[in-house]
Amino acid sequence: MLDNWSRMLNMSLHGATLGTRFIFIFFLAKYLDPASVGYYGLFTAAVGYAIYFVGLDFYIYVTREIIKTPVNERGQLLKSQAALSGILYIVLWPLAFAFLYHSEWPEQLVWWFFPILLLEHFNQEMSRFLVAMSAQITASFILFIRQGSWAIVIVSLMTWNTPSRNLDSVFALWAMAGLAAAAVGIWKLQQLRMGGWGAAINWAWVKKGIRVSLAFLVATLALRGMQTIDRYWLEALGGIEMVGAYVILLGVAGTLMAFLDAGVFAFAYPVLIRLAHQQDHAASKVKVRQMLTQTLVLSAAFAVCSWLALPYLLNWIDNPIYLRAQHWYPWLMMAMVLNALSMVPHFALYARGQDRHIIYSHISSLAVFVLTVWALSRTHAALAVPIGLNMAFGCILIWKTTAYLLRVTQPPSQQSKTMPPVVTPNA
C-alpha cells in the first residue's frame, strides 16, 4: 500500500501527464494545419488499436499468474509473453505495412508507425507489470516520460522554432521519449532481481493464456474499434480536415475520463474487488452509489467548465475550421458522460466476475455504432459519427446497468476465472 507521500507523488505524475497532454493538443491545433492534426489523430488511433493485435490483451492473464509465481520463476513468464508478441509481430508486421503503404497516409507516417508501435507496446506492458509488482511510482514516471515529457518539449519547440512545426518533429520526439521510458523500465526490471530468464519458453502456459485472454480481447477490439473507425469514417464523410476538428474537440471531452480514472475509478475498483471477495454486498452497494455520485458531480462540473472555456480556446487557435465544428462538442461531451456513467456498473460487474455482460455490451455497442452512422450518413453527415458514439455508449450504459441491477443481490460469480486482481479492465 502506498503511503500518503507516495500517493500524492503518484497522483501528481498522473496530473502532470494529463495537463501536458491537454495543453499539447491545443498547441498542435495552433501551429499545424487541420489536415496534419487529422493525420495525427488517425495515426494515434491506429497505433492504439494495433497494440491489441500484437498484445492480445495477454496482460490480463499474465498479471494474475505472475503475482502468485515465485520471484525466481517470474522471468520465464515474461520471456514467454515476449516470445508470443515476437511471433505476432512477425506475422502481422508485413500485413500492416502493406495496408498502410497503400493507404492515403503521407509516406513518413507509415515509416514512423512501426517504431512508435513497438515502443508504445513495450512501455504499456512494462507499466502494467510494474503496477502488478506494486511499483506504481515507477509506472507513473514511465507514463509521464512517454506521454508528457515530449509534449512539453514539442510545445516549446513549436513556440520558438517555426521549422519544427510539422509531424516529423512530433513523431521524432515521441519516439525519443519512448526509448527513454523503455530504458527506465528495463532498469527497474533489473532491480527486481527475478529469476527464470534462462528457462525454456513455456508454450503450454502461453496457449492457456491465449484462451483466457481471447474473450476480453474480442470485447476490447469491439470497443476500441468503434473509437478507431470513427476517425476513418469521418474522413470518408467530410475529409481529413474534419478529422482534425474532431480530434481537438474529442480530446477536450475525453479529458473527463482521464480525470475520473485518476480521481475516482482507480481508487474505487480495487475496493469493490475486495468487497466482492469478502461477499460484503451491503458495503459494495454503498461504494457503487458513492462512485455514481462522484461521477455525476464531476461530469456535470467538467461539462459546464469545458463548455464555457471552449470558445476562448478555439478563438486562441484562430482557425475557422475548428470554430465551425464547435457545435459537435455537446454531442461529444454527452458521449463521454455516458461512457463515464457506464463505468460505474462496469466496475461493479467486473468485481463480481460478471465478465460476459461486459463483453456482450462492448460487442453490441460496435454494431449499434456502425448501424447508426450508416443510417445517418446521408441525412446528417457532419453529426453521424458523434450521434453514433452517443447511441453506442448509451447501449453500453443500459446493458451494464440492467445486468448490475439484476445481479446486485447475488454472490460473486464463481464461473469467471479471468479477472486480473488489480488491473483496470478498460486500460
The one-digit pLDDT tens for each residue of the chain (427 residues) are 445 676 677 778 877 888 898 889 889 999 999 999 999 998 998 898 899 899 988 887 887 688 778 889 899 999 999 999 999 999 998 888 888 887 778 888 889 999 999 999 999 999 888 877 878 789 889 999 999 999 999 999 999 999 999 999 999 999 999 999 999 999 999 999 899 999 999 999 999 889 878 877 888 888 888 888 888 888 888 888 889 999 899 989 988 987 787 678 867 777 787 787 788 888 888 999 999 999 999 999 999 999 999 999 899 988 898 988 899 999 999 999 999 999 999 988 877 878 788 889 999 999 999 999 999 988 887 789 999 999 999 999 999 999 999 875 455 444 444 444 333 434 3
Give whole-number Cα distances, 242 to 110, 227, 230, 356, 378, in Å. 21, 16, 12, 36, 16
195 backbone dihedrals φ, ψ, rounded to 5°: -105, 180
Joined grid coordinates for residue 332: 461529444
| 238 and 230 Cβ atoms separated by less than 8 Å | no
DSSP string, 351-388: HTT-HHHHHHHHHHHHHHHHHHHHHHTTTSHHHHHHHH
